[in-house]
Amino acid sequence: MRASSILHASTDRQVHLLLKIDGVPSTQINRSGKRQIFCQAGPIPRTLRIPSPIFLRTGFRGGLNYYRSIQLGFDLAAPFKGKRVEQPSFFLVGETDGLNQIASPTTENLRRSLPGLIGHIKLPGVGHWPQREAAAETDAVLLDFLRQVN
């Protein structure tokens, strides 16, 4: 059975497994066999429960195809490895984004590859999807950044 069929058969359960179930962090085993936690403990916010009906209607194919072709993304980005982004930039991340446990960005280490960095913010209580979890705060930060560079 294809992964998309399995995921579609139990959409609500799969979305909760991808995020967290009853406050238990969602985990994944990385290539080196180590367990990584991708979601912080706590109740699933209402904004993260919204995707279930969307995935039920549209399926998981788009998301799965991204991961099925992820090597292509790395291959296409290879010429840019080690390059610096000189343009003005702003780095916004959710404080509880599980990716922070893998590589927690700091203004100092971001400036190595983003010398035009104008700002860096960690939105408190926000995870991997700030534009969905904290839309108003994300919009305010982005609009302020755009005013600064205009």
pLDDT digits (tens, 9 = 90+) for 103-130: 888 999 999 999 999 999 999 988 888 8
Terminal Cα-to-Cα distance of the chain (whole angstroms): 52
What pLDDT was estimated at residue 88?
97
User: Which of 23-32, 64-73, 126-135 has the weakest average pLDDT?
Assistant: 23-32
pLDDT digits (tens, 9 = 90+) for 41-94: 445 555 555 566 666 677 767 767 777 788 888 899 999 999 999 999 999 999
What pLDDT was estimated at residue 138?
95
From residue 124, alpha-carbon distances to 36, 57, 142 in Å are 21, 32, 16
pTM comes to 0.61
What pLDDT was estimated at residue 27?
46
Asked if residue 97 lies in contact with residue 124, where contact means CB atoms within 8 angstroms, the answer is no
Average of pLDDT values for 125-138? 88
* Distance from C-alpha of 113 to C-alpha of 8, rounded to nearest angstrom: 40
Q: What tokens appear for 38 in the block? A: 């991708």
What pLDDT was estimated at residue 116?
95
